[in-house]
Structure 1
Amino acid sequence: MKEILQEKAVFIEQDEYQQDKRVIKAAELPKHPIPKSAVTVCMLAYIIVAKYCDALPLYRLEKILARSGGSIARTTMANWLMRLSLQLQPLINLMMDHQRAGHVINADETTVQVIKETKKSINSDKYMWVTLGGPPGQPSVLFHYDPSRSKEVPLRLFEGFSGYLQTDGYASYNAVCKQEGITQPGCFDHVRRKFTDAKKGEAKPGKKLKNTKASKADVALGKIRKLYAIEDEIKDLSAPEKQYQRQQQSKPLLDELHGWLEKNVTRLVPDSLTHKAMSYALNQWPKLVVYCEDGHLNISNASAENAIRPFTIGRKNWLFSDTPNGARASAMYYSLIESAKANGLEPFDYLSHILKELPYADTVEQLEQLLPWAVKLPE
């Protein structure tokens, strides 16, 4: 009997133990944009902003982190950025499609040195192209690396686009405008710059004489200055109002300037700087007057030149890209940062947000919610 009671007591204790048993379940780790990586999302965003927004080369960033007790080699940071760029490519593709859906695109290009570019020699020029555009209120700034400056690059970048493509006078854009039926506005900044150079280059050395007759370069600059004054007056108007004011005020001045150029270009020595400036303006004239057709256009391509300036500032510090893939990754990060800024977002906050959400974006609709104009960050 005693043995039976003891055995029953054991069963009761085991039953009570089973009822009180707690099951420990581990929560799943948050998804990471670089699988199996030890770096945090915030650190990734910091590295991207430090290099591509604040123009800090990775070797400087390595020293800055070391002073704070960190130990991250520049090669490790470069590897993170290269791996992350592969995850960001779908987002860039959507931004490119979105930009082509807009009405106006501004474009420009500048040189970049890429050490291990197999298609060209180490000392030859390679190029970073920038395009600025998109529907109203949803601007995107996109950078594109290509070792070439030939017409094949614009043919690829603007395939399927219809609207206005505003550039400088570089002829490589002509082929895509003809193929896609794109209207190409010119840039009066380049015209003004050539007359300014002519004025400086043909000025006589020594003291300036009083009551000296104004040079033809001075006259041209005076006429162009009036066009810019109108633009300054109407800058806050709506697009239709701008178009109306340009037709009323700028068009007569343009007709006057064109007539003056045609009359005086034959009176100058062909090799003179002023003659070259006049010839350039006359050759570009059909494009230079296009901005009067649409209030969304500008008198110059300054917006594209301003968009590419952060890259040129960074280039002075980090000097070159090691590989073509590195140059393409740089283009991607500049695109995200400058597009964030164009949409009023703080780059670090925007990058931190999309890097957290990107691993969970499995559909096109979810990716579209990560585009700069779709993101609403808490203030």
Structure 2
Amino acid sequence: MSSPNPSAPTADNLPADLAAAHALILALQGELATARQQAGERAIEIERLRLALAKARRELYGQSSERGRLLVEQLELQLEELEETSAENEVAGELSTPAPTLGRHTKPARRPLPEALPRERIVHPRPCVCDRCGGDALRKIGEDVLESLECEPRRWKVVEHVREKFACRSCETVSQTPAPSHPIRRGRAGPNLLAMVLAGKYAQHLPLHRQSAAYAREGGDLDVSTLADWVGAAAATLAPLVAAIRTYVLAADRLHGDDTPVPVLAKSLPRTRSGGKVATGRLWVYVRDDRPFGGSDPPAALYHYARTRAGEHPQRHLAGWAGIFQADAYSGYASLYDPARKPGPLLEAGCWSHVRRRFFDLAKDGKSPLAAEAVKRIDALFAIERTINGRAIAERTETRRDKSRPLIDDLERWLRSSRVRLSPKSDPAKAMDYALNRWQAMTRFLEDGRICMSNNAAERALRGIAVGRRNWTFCGSDAGGDRAAAIYTLIETAKLNDVDPQAWLADTLARIHDHPAKAIADLLPWNWKAKP
């Protein structure tokens, strides 16, 4: 227990005169502001540690846990609110505290501002005379630079492309420079504006009516129908790039596949309470990503839209392709694994994240010791996988043979011995059956270093769509679903290659009409280089 402060005011030593009382009040206000600031910073540090712990636990016990993801998001929001409150209290304390009491407690130095950003140098007027003696014989001995981060608002402008006409004095023939190519043949939008609208809708998940309202506040009066016309025209212009990515993805030896629901307005269905007619369509994704086994080929994602989740859709998407297919246990994929399939059956590789998720959902409330034990055993396998991520195929195969194979064999024995003691209708039995009924597919990764233990690559590619659903609610039509699939293909592929989608789309839209069709691959994200 801390000892009392001997200098703290008490009823016996309160100042008798008004000036001393005012000084005491100001001093106490400063001490109170400092104490509040320190308490706020301690609370922020506690939340930072909690967030780091939650992220570490999620990394250790399963990256695809929905509960873990929600916990991390909740802690991040809580930390953000605490930092805002701390900053507000700090500034309020500074404004109410006399200058001499400031500086008692200094916050840790913030990280420097990014060096890559351009610097705008503002040199403030120099002093004309000495602050002490009033003399004017001053010489510069140095300078102090205080940096602040600034962002300029969007600036709307009209670009005039002027083509002067010249008449020949000899024959009166009129000569003029050819008209420059336009990003879209209809409309008057420049490539940067088109890219901003596309990225806003499909990368930032902002519906066109929200973009229209934001642009109007900035002086860009663009109605929704105009923006929609531009999106459709841009999608048609970029179609060759989508086709090139499709060809590239389907040239892979191994693919990840998954799908997610998207509500779609449908004229043939009964109206909803809001007056619309909504059906549930699907967006499918097929991801080519060789980075887990040290492959040098760039990653890419291919999206398709379909009105239903019928198995005929992945059959059509993957017609003519054969290889290793990493996916969940959706029954619609069954025909893809048929030995009689042409040009050959796909080799099924199961997803251990799906298996783990079934057990984790049962174990999280502490009521199923069997499920908790299964999660523990599966986590041990994932821990081995993390040590060989990005390593060569041979090394991955050898490590799995030496370390993962014994754990898998032991896990299978434990699952089968535990399963016979359970009722077929119990939830733990169903989770065990999910793994045991497709054991060959689940253990195929042990024999091939190219195969990943999970299908997380496809799931990550669909997360943005899940976020978008909350904002744009539904696709306007089947054509809108197809268009969304095409633009998602471009944006997600750019992101997978660490390329800014908006900058890439802007430059590509400016160049694509003058670019040779045979060299369209030069504009793909992994080959793209912006013009200086």
TM-score, normalised via structure 1 length: 0.87
Match of 1:242 in 2: 396
- Matched to 1:155, the amino acid is Q
Match of 1:29 in 2: 179
Q: 2:353–2:455: 8 Å Cα contact kept in structure 1? A: yes
Match of 1:56 in 2: 206
What are the within-5 Å matches in structure 2 for residues 57-96 of structure 1? 57-96=207-246
CA–CA distance in structure 2, aligned partners of residues 29 and 308 of structure 1 = 41
Question: Residues 164-214 of structure 1, C-alpha deviation per residue, up to 9 Å, x if partnerless?
Answer: 1100111111212322321110000111011112224672xxxxxxxxxx8
What are the within-5 Å matches in structure 2 for residues 140-179 of structure 1? 140-178=300-338, 179=341
Q: 2:183–2:190: 8 Å Cα contact kept in structure 1? A: no
CA–CA distance in structure 2, aligned partners of residues 120 and 176 of structure 1 = 34
How far 1:24 moved relative to its partner?
6.7
Give the superposed CA RMSD. Answer: 2.3
Structure 2 residue 477 is matched with structure 1 residue 323 = yes
Greater than 4 Å deviation, 4+ residue runs: 21-24, 117-121
- The alignment partner of 1:244 has SS state of helix
How far 1:362 moved relative to its partner?
4.8
Question: CA 1:45/1:257 → structure 2, altered by over 3 Å: closer, same or farther?
Answer: same
Q: 1:103–1:134: 8 Å Cα contact kept in structure 2? A: no
Question: Residues 207-237 of structure 1, C-alpha deviation per residue, up to 9 Å, x if partnerless?
Answer: xxxxxxx811121111111101101122242
Q: Which has the higher contact order (CA 8 A, sep 6+)?
A: 1
- Matched to 1:351, the amino acid is L
Structure 2 residue 333 is matched with structure 1 residue 183 = no
How far 1:244 moved relative to its partner?
1.2
Q: 2:285–2:301: 8 Å Cα contact kept in structure 1? A: yes
Q: 1:129–1:145: 8 Å Cα contact kept in structure 2? A: yes
What are the within-5 Å matches in structure 2 for residues 283-322 of structure 1? 283-322=437-476
Question: CA 1:134/1:120 → structure 2, altered by over 3 Å: closer, same or farther?
Answer: farther
How far 1:91 moved relative to its partner?
2.1
Structure 2 residue 358 is matched with structure 1 residue 198 = no
* Total equivalences in the alignment: 351
- The alignment partner of 2:301 has SS state of strand
- The alignment partner of 1:64 has SS state of helix
What are the within-5 Å matches in structure 2 for residues 2-13 of structure 1? none
- Matched to 1:168, the amino acid is D
CA–CA distance in structure 1, aligned partners of residues 461 and 256 of structure 2 = 10
> Which structure has the greater CA radius of gyration?
2
Structure 2 residue 523 is matched with structure 1 residue 359 = no
How far 1:342 moved relative to its partner?
1.0
CA–CA distance in structure 1, aligned partners of residues 432 and 316 of structure 2 = 33
Q: 1:131–1:142: 8 Å Cα contact kept in structure 2? A: yes
Structure 2 residue 259 is matched with structure 1 residue 105 = no
Correspondent of 1:115 among 261, 265, 279: 265
Match of 1:138 in 2: 298
The structure carrying a bigger helix percent of its residues is 1
Identify unmatched segments of 5+ residues in structure 1: 1-16, 204-213
CA–CA distance in structure 2, aligned partners of residues 94 and 111 of structure 1 = 26
The range that moved more, 225-234 or 119-128, is 119-128
Question: CA 1:117/1:341 → structure 2, altered by over 3 Å: closer, same or farther?
Answer: farther
TM-score, normalised via structure 2 length: 0.63
What percent identity do the matched residue pairs reach?
32
How far 1:360 moved relative to its partner?
2.2
Identify unmatched segments of 5+ residues in structure 2: 1-167, 272-276, 291-295
Question: CA 1:354/1:118 → structure 2, altered by over 3 Å: closer, same or farther?
Answer: farther
CA–CA distance in structure 1, aligned partners of residues 270 and 315 of structure 2 = 21
Q: 1:100–1:134: 8 Å Cα contact kept in structure 2? A: no
- Matched to 2:347, the amino acid is T
- The alignment partner of 1:131 has SS state of strand
- The alignment partner of 1:352 has SS state of helix
Q: 2:302–2:489: 8 Å Cα contact kept in structure 1? A: yes
Q: 1:140–1:342: 8 Å Cα contact kept in structure 2? A: yes
- Matched to 1:300, the amino acid is S
How far 1:22 moved relative to its partner?
9.9
Q: 1:198–1:277: 8 Å Cα contact kept in structure 2? A: no
Match of 1:12 in 2: none
Question: CA 1:132/1:236 → structure 2, altered by over 3 Å: closer, same or farther?
Answer: closer
Question: Residues 102-141 of structure 1, C-alpha deviation per residue, up to 9 Å, x if partnerless?
Answer: 1211011000011036599944421011110167422211
CA–CA distance in structure 2, aligned partners of residues 319 and 173 of structure 1 = 28
Q: 2:349–2:445: 8 Å Cα contact kept in structure 1? A: yes
